Structures are given as C-alpha cells and as structure tokens.
Amino acid sequence: MLYFSKLRVFSVLIFTLIISYFTISNFTKVDDEFFSKNIKLGLDLQGGSYLLLEIDNEPVITQRLQSKVLEFKKFFKDKDIKVRNFVIEDKSIVFDVENSKIEEVKSLLDDDKSEINPYFQQYKSHQFNIENMDTSFKLEFSDYGLVLLKNSSLDQAIEIVRRRVDEVGTNEPNILKRGNDRILVELPGLDDPGRIKSLLGKTANLTFQFISSSSEESFGTEKLSFEDGSSEAIVSKRIVLSGDNLMDAKPTMNNQTNETVVSFTLDRVGAKKFGKATSNGVGKRLAIVLDGKIISAPEVREPIIGGNGQISGNFTFQSATDLALLLRSGALPAPLNIIEERTVGPDLGKDSINAGIMSLIIGFILVVAFMFYKYRFFGLIANLALISNLFLLVGILTLFEATLTLPGIAGIILTVGMAVDANVLIFERIKEELKNENNSIVAFDSGYTKSRTTILDANITTLIAAVILFFMGSGPIKGFSITLGVGILTTLFSVYFIARLITAYYVIKNKHKEKLI
Amino acid sequence: MKTIYFNKFYKSFNILSGILIIASLVFLVFKGLNFGVDFKGGTLIELRTDKSSANITKIRDSFNQMNLGDVSVKNFGNETDFVVKFEKQNSNDPQFIEEIKTKLSNSIGTVDFRRVENVGPKVSAELLRSGVIAIALSLAAMLLYIWIRFEWQFSLGAILALFHDVIITLGVFSVFSLEINLSIVAAVLTIVGYSMNDTVVIFDRVRENLRKYADVKIFELTNISINETLSRTIITSVTTLLALLSIFIFGGEILKGFSLAMILGVIFGTYSSIYIANPVLISLKVSQRTIVKEEKE
C-alpha cells in the first residue's frame, strides 16, 4: 500500500492541480469561457424567485372533447351513419347510434388504424376508451390519451411562459418542465415577483365579440362583466377575431384623446376577417374580451381594413405595456396556478453567503487545530489532505457548474468534519499495528490494508444517504446532497492518493525512527 | 489506553434508551411535530424592521388584523429580524404579498421582506410524502447494504441503532416544538448515514475479533472492540461536532434547525453504536460460530 509508481505520483499531482485550478478560477477573472468557470449560486444565496406553476387542464379537456364532438359528427356523416344525442358529461362523450350500425361503429372506433380514435402503437392504447351499451356509446380519454393531451398543453404553456418571462427581461431565467402538468420558473436576482406572477396568472385569451342588440342571435349570447366591474353587457357568442391572429401589439399614446392605448397589428387572415366584420358592423359596439372580461366596447365608426387597431380601456402606461406583452406572447392553453413560491431577497442571500463562509472558515480551523493537537506531524498530513479535499470538492462543483446552496455550504463544512475520519481510522490502525510490529514500513502498510474495508463501508453508507437525498430532495436540499456526495469521493481520493503518498515518503525516509506516529 | 468496561452498563443504558424511545414515541403521537410551511402549507415571511419601531406583539397585532388564519411571529436571530408564519396561502393573487407589506408598513413603519415562502396544500402534502419516502428508502437501503456486508444479527443491531437515533432525534424536536422543514429531512438522512458509519466501524472490529479470539465470549468481545475503536470514535465525533457547532453558531438562522438536528444525531449515533448495536449482538447470541457458519456457506 505504500508503493507509488512515478507515473501515478505524476497523475495524482496533475489531477489535483487541474481540479484545484477551477476552485481558484472562482476568485479570478480570465477571458475564456472554459477557464473562467464560476460555481453557480442557488437562489437562496444570490437572491431570486422560485415559482412552481400547475396547469389547470380541466378546461383543455372540455375544449378537446367539444372539438372532438364536431369531428365525430362530420366523420359519421361522411360514413352515412346516423348518430344522435351527442352529450359531453363527466369528461366523456356520449352518443347513440342506430341499431343496424352498432357493429360498424364499434369496429370503426376499435380498429388499430382508426382515423377517428387514433391508436398509439408505442403505448398500445387508443386515444379514447370505449364503452358500449346497446345503442349507446361512451368515449373517455384513455390514460395515454390524457397524458398526450397534458403533454401537448404543457409544451404550449411552457413556450408561452418562456416568451412572457423573456419579455420582462430578467437575468438568466430557468424554465423547466416538472412532471406532466407543472412548470418550474427560477428567476435569479428578482426579489419582487409580483409583476411576473400577474403576467403568468393570466391566460390572455383575447377575443373580439359584438355587443348583442337583439337577444335572438343565431350563435347565442352570454353575459360578461367589464374588467373594472362597473357594469355588464350581453355579448354575442360569435367570435369575430381571436388573439391568434395578432401579429404584434405595443403600448402607444392616442394623440386625439391623450390616452395610453394598446395598438395591435393583425396578420393577413385576421385583417381580412376584421375588415369584413367591421364593415358589416358599423354602428355596433365591438367588445374586446380578455379572459372572459370586457376591457372596453367601443363603437365601430368605420370599417377597419388595414389590419391595425387600438384597444383603449383606462390603461396606465404600465398596464398597457403588460397587456401588449401578454398579447404578443399569445394565450396559454389553460390557466396556470402558482402552487409554490419562494423568494429570497438579495441581502439575505449575501448574509447567508457570509455566514456560510464564516462558519466554514471557523469549522475548518477548529478541525485542523484538533487534528494537529492529536497527531502532530501526521495531523499535518491529514490537514494537507483536508485542504486538497476542499480544493478538489469546490473545483469539481465548479467544473460541473453545480449549484451551490446554503445547505450545500453546510454539506461542505460537514465534509470537513467527517473527512478526517478516514485518516483517523488509518492512523489508529497503524498505531495498533506498531505495537506488535517493529518494521514500521510493514506496520504502516498493514495499517492501510486492514482499515480499507471499514473506510469503504463507512463512506458507502453516507454516499447512499446522499444519493437518496439527491433523487428525493428539491432545490437547496439537492445542493446539500451534491456537496455531501462529491465530498465523499474527494475525501477518498485525498486520503488514498494524497495523504498516503506523503505518508509513504515520510515513512520510507524515517523508517528507523522510534515512535513514528 | 486503559480499558473502559462499557459492557457493565449495557443493561442500564438499554433501559434508559427504552424509556427515551417510549417517551419520544408518546410525544410524537400525542404532541406531534411542529411542521413548517414546507410540510403544512401556508406562508412564511422573514422580515427586517426599522430599528426602533417594532416588537413581536406589535407585529402580531397588525398581522392578526389581516385575516390570515393562525399567525405565529418569532424573533429570528437579530432583534430587528422576525419570522412570521400563517396558514393563508394565496400565491395566485399577485398582489397578496404586496398588500401585506403595505398594511404592515402603515402600522409599524418601514419593513423589508427578506424572504417569502408560499407553499400550497398540494405541494406541501407531496413534500411531506417524499420526505417520509426518502427516510424510509434510506433506512431500507442501509438495511440492504449491511445485510449484504454482514451476518443478519449485525444488520438487525445496526438498524435498531438507526431507528433509535432517528426516533429520539425527532422526539427532541417534538418536545421542544422545533420546526420540521425540508432541511431537517436532509439532516435525518445524514444522521442515518453517520450512525450507520459509526456502527459499521465497531462491527467490522467485532467480526475481526471473532476470528482472532477463539475463546472470548461475545459479551467481552464487544467491549474489546469498542475499546480498540474508541479513540477513533471520539476523534471523529469531535471533529464532526466541531464542524456542526461552527454551522450552528456562525451559519445563520436558516441553518440552526438543521445543524441542531445533526448535532443531536451525531451524539445519539455515537452512543447507539456502543449501547444499542452491541447489546443486540449479545442478545442474538452471536458467537465465533456465526461467522464460521457464514463463511462455510
């Protein structure tokens, strides 16, 4: 155990130096992306906001079922099959089929190549599960049908969330999927998430609908209230135009009224639709509806043909900017609920860093002093191993751009305290071996050999705990498990390669000395 | 070093541990744990006030007027820092926190919200579940590991020691109503790792000594093994405790609970390696034959 080849000494040295370099790179500035890596600070240390959003998929499911009903109606009409009594109830579609066509409908729905109820080969499942009782059919989303639906609405939502967050222009936001209906948004440096929250909390479904003059509208009518809660209006259900046709929106000043408004530009299809509708609707009031609330309902004085328009509605400059932003980024497929929020102010983060570093330094000094007091020269060796351990640990965290959190710093300090254990086990064993063995080289060698399984056992148990924490923990706790886990690996390296190397040199040089340790 | 007769006190300390475990369980069942926002849901605000104006009563009064459910206010480190916790959680209203801040400023003067945590009921239930799973999983993983590495008698001893440490540590948290949050789960898992580590070191020695001494009874043998590894046990506990004390004293308020749990865990872990794990070997009548039989297979 005491023999080291030249090559090995060399590689240990090079490895340690390279990794240690990255530790130092945290404190220096180099103009190279690879060589100027910095450890990433968690939100709890640099300050910032963490938001966990959950999609409320209920409306999406209903919406999909509604559009599916239309598809079914068309599909069966084309096939000359009479179906009646379409209803959506309890998240499923129910309909009746004429007696003679039951089998045909069954096979149309159940076929692997079904056009209307797609079969997903990879999941071995149709989009819908079918229940058949006499002439009645009941279709319900299968598990995979639901998963696919959720995934697609999550994909859409995350895109919209990203656009909205980017538009606000925060510093390096981090937006990630969580499961199949959640989105994690991390906003470093943001200590007041109020504005982002209000932007993400809006679906931003924009529609233009005429205020109904007569109650006999062919599309039906609905009663909507105004945004400011002042009054209500009966609005035709026919949607003249929706936000999908919007190309751009920005806050501007209306020169005539001196009011802040949001002006928008429509795409070609939208401009055409809008032009036609406003030509027919001169004199009527057109309600601008956002998420079921009327922002304003100006009278159409002349046809709007160019595809440009304005939305007025008692805006401040800020609220006009936000509305324009929402309209530009598009509507969310479903409402998002904020189910978890954690915000740390920048000065608390700074305080935490200072406290963390302070306790690291003090903990380190205490441990180093104690080891020196207990083992003298060998204490120095253990301490050298400890220092290189720290450099390796921080270096590896930097190299892999791991996120350092406050519990992560605690993990480093804890590593300092526990890392000496391996060297202590070895030194104590050597002491025992020296009692019955005169040749100190043999004693040192067997001290290392005999303590090895114990050291491995002891470290593997802590490593198990760290790995479980890594997979089960979230945020700051994950940071702790990373430093704890990496700390164990660097501890073993520093004990077996660095401390052992120095011990070997020392023992071989001083093999005739009495009382080596 | 002089031999210390740990084995003389096995019985008395086992009784003590038994009492502590029962007491802990009684507290855990009847008083329960003081779950923080992470596990109970609700809102936590850490705030800093202008030096002069505020005290706990004043802050509590102004929060009580806001209809936020149960409000708890505690001093947090500094005399100008406070932590306020309440049941109501309304992160969907973007103005929720802002309004509280305005109302509070009106009644007690300038405040700075240093930290806000807002956890919905669904998330807190999930966090609690995954915390429990993590702890259960780590115990199971330890059991499996030790079962592969040692004879079953040893595994049982080590696991009993682990349960002992975890239950008593949680018991202390219950008695003093200390807050259980995510970092405490991390601490408990680390305690599990540490306690196991400590037990394994002694058990390795017991097993080695079973091979070495053919005619020493397990009762004596555990004592020899404990003594042989004693200075390591002490040194490692001391260095670990030094590091933890440093976190506890200088690491700021947020890490207080975490480091306290770890300190307790290290103390109980060291104690249980000696006084729980070893007596189990004796009551399971581990002998030289246990090892030999295993090796023949």
Instruction: Please state the φ and ψ torsions of residue A171, each to the nearest 5 degrees.
Output: -80, 115
Element (H, E) at A309: strand A308-315
Same domain, B200 and B80: no
Same domain, B202 and B268: yes
Chain A contact present for B149, CB below 8 A: yes
Please choose, from the candidates A102, A108, A120, the residue with its C-alpha nearest in 3D space to the C-alpha of residue A78: A108
DSSP 3-state percent helix, strand, coil across chain A (nearest 5): 55, 25, 25
C-alpha span between A469 and B135 (Å, rounded): 9
Mutate to test the interface with A, among B98, B235, B244 (most CBs of A within 10 A): B235
Residues of chain A with pLDDT > 90, as a percent, come to: 42
Residue A178 has pLDDT above 70, yes or no: yes
Same domain, B158 and B199: yes
Among B94, B119, B144, the domain boundary falls at B119
Same domain, B12 and B52: no
Q: Is A484's CB within 8 Å of B192's CB? A: no
Confidence tier at A239 by pLDDT (50, 70, 90): confident
Tell me the nearest-neighbour CA distance from B30 into chain A, angstroms.
28
Chain A contact present for B128, CB below 8 A: no
What angle, rounded to 10 degrees, do the helices at A406-436 and A476-493 form? 30
Residue type, A38: N
- A416-465 pLDDT tens trace: 999 999 999 999 999 999 988 888 889 999 999 999 999 998 899 889 98
pLDDT of residue A380: 95
Instruction: Please state the φ and ψ torsions of residue A42, each to the nearest 5 degrees.
Output: -70, 165
Q: In which domain, by residue range, is B85 found?
A: 42-119
Nearest beta carbon to residue A464 from set B115, B138, B240: B138
Q: Which position has the higher pLDDT, A107 or B154?
A: B154
Fold of A58-146: Gyrase A; domain 2 (3.30.1360)
Nearest beta carbon to residue A359 from set B137, B198, B247: B247
Instruction: Give the CA dihedral A63, A68, A74, A75, nearest 10 degrees.
Output: 170
Among B88, B119, B150, the domain boundary falls at B119
> Token pair of A189, please?
């440096």
C-alpha span between A486 and A484 (Å, rounded): 6
Low-confidence ranges of chain B (pLDDT < 70): 1, 51-53, 91-92, 292-297
Same domain, B147 and B222: yes
Nearest beta carbon to residue B246 from set A413, A460, A476: A413
Q: Is A345's CB within 8 Å of B118's CB? A: no
Q: How far apart are the first and last CA of chain A?
A: 17
Same domain, B77 and B199: no
Mean pLDDT for the stretch of residues A268-293: 90
Same domain, B112 and B252: no
Whether residue B1 is contained in a domain is answered as no
Same domain, B99 and B165: no
One of 1.20.120.420, 3.40.1210.10, 3.30.1490.190, 3.30.1360.200 is the CATH number of A206-325, namely 3.30.1360.200
Burial of A63-91, coded b for 16+ CB within 10 Å and e otherwise, reads ebbeebbeebeebbeeeeeebeeeeeeee
Chains A–B, number of C-beta pairs less than 8 Å apart:
221
Mutate to test the interface with B, among A44, A336, A340, A430 (most CBs of B within 10 A): A340
Same domain, B178 and B268: yes
Tell me the nearest-neighbour CA distance from A69 into chain B, angstroms.
33
pLDDT of residue B53: 65
pLDDT of residue A158: 94
Residue type, A277: A
pLDDT of residue A105: 84
Chain A contact present for B224, CB below 8 A: no
Q: Is B229's CB within 8 Å of A428's CB? A: yes
Q: B185: which chain A residues are within 8 Å (Cβ-Cβ)?
A: 473, 477
Chain A contact present for B46, CB below 8 A: yes
Q: Is B236's CB within 8 Å of A195's CB? A: no
Residues of chain A with pLDDT > 70, as a percent, come to: 98
C-alpha span between B200 and B234 (Å, rounded): 15
CATH number of the structural domain spanning residue B57: 3.30.70.3400
Q: B244: which chain A residues are within 8 Å (Cβ-Cβ)?
A: 363, 413-414, 417
Residue of chain A with shortest Cα separation from B181: A477
Q: In the CATH scheme, what is the code of domain A6-45+345-509?
A: 1.20.1640.10
Chain A contact present for B133, CB below 8 A: yes
* Rg, Å, chain B Cα set: 24
Scan for tokens 């959950």, then name that residue: A54
Residue of chain A with shortest Cα separation from B208: A450
Mutate to test the interface with B, among A181, A342, A359, A428 (most CBs of B within 10 A): A359
Residue of chain B with shortest Cα separation from A453: B204
Strand order in A221-226's β-sheet?
Answer: A232-236, A221-226, A293-296, A286-290, A206-210, A241-242
Same domain, B93 and B194: no
Mean pLDDT for the stretch of residues A241-263: 88
Q: What is chain A's mean pLDDT, rounded?
A: 88
Q: Is A194's CB within 8 Å of B94's CB? A: yes
Three-class SS of residue B135?
A: helix
Mutate to test the interface with B, among A477, A481, A492, A495 (most CBs of B within 10 A): A477
Residue of chain B with shortest Cα separation from A350: B114
DSSP state of B30: I
Three-class SS of residue A6?
A: helix
Residue of chain A with shortest Cα separation from B38: A340
> Token pair of A390, please?
């720290």
Output the furthest CA–CA distance in chain A (Å, rounded): 111
Q: Is A359's CB within 8 Å of B189's CB? A: no
C-alpha span between B102 and B109 (Å, rounded): 10
Residue of chain A with shortest Cα separation from B122: A339
Burial of A145-159, coded b for 16+ CB within 10 Å and e otherwise, reads bbbbbbeebbebbbe
CATH number of the structural domain spanning residue B197: 1.20.1640.10
For the full predicted model, state whether its pTM sits above 0.80: yes
- Beta carbons of B37 and B88 less than 8 angstroms apart: no
**Ranges of CATH 3.30.1360.200 domains, chain A:** 206-325
Positions of E strands within B120-260: 179-180
Three-class SS of residue A210?
A: strand
Same domain, B55 and B199: no
pLDDT of residue B171: 96
Scan for tokens 């090895």, then name that residue: A452
Among B65, B97, B119, the domain boundary falls at B119
pLDDT of residue B295: 58
Q: How many domains does chain B have?
A: 2
Q: B127: which chain A residues are within 8 Å (Cβ-Cβ)?
A: 474
pLDDT of residue B161: 94
- Beta carbons of A499 and A381 less than 8 angstroms apart: yes
DSSP state of B219: H
- Beta carbons of A39 and A26 less than 8 angstroms apart: yes
> Token pair of A377, please?
């020269």
DSSP state of A444: H
Q: Which position has the higher pLDDT, B195 or A79?
A: B195
Burial of A251-262, coded b for 16+ CB within 10 Å and e otherwise, reads beeeeeeeebbb
Q: Is A414's CB within 8 Å of B262's CB? A: yes
Please choose, from the candidates B2, B7, B81, the residue with its C-alpha nearest in 3D space to the C-alpha of residue B45: B81
The DSSP line for B68-95 is -SSEEEEEESEEEEEEEEES---TTSTT
- B173-190 pLDDT tens trace: 999 999 999 999 989 989
Mean pLDDT for the stretch of residues A370-391: 94
- A188-234 pLDDT tens trace: 988 788 888 888 988 999 999 988 876 556 677 888 888 888 888 88
* Dihedral class, residue A426 (left if φ above 0, else alpha if ψ from -120 to 50, else beta): alpha
- Beta carbons of A120 and A143 less than 8 angstroms apart: no
Element (H, E) at A80: none
Mean pLDDT for the stretch of residues A239-255: 89
User: How many Cα neighbours within 13 Å face the side chain of A104?
Assistant: 11
Residue of chain A with shortest Cα separation from B118: A341
Strand order in A128-133's β-sheet?
Answer: A83-89, A92-97, A136-141, A128-133
Q: Is B251's CB within 8 Å of A410's CB? A: yes
pLDDT of residue B173: 95
Same domain, B173 and B133: yes
Q: A465: which chain B residues are within 8 Å (Cβ-Cβ)?
A: 138, 189-190, 192-193
Q: How far apart are the first and last CA of chain B?
A: 38
pLDDT of residue A255: 83
User: How many Cα neighbours within 13 Å face the side chain of A292?
Assistant: 4
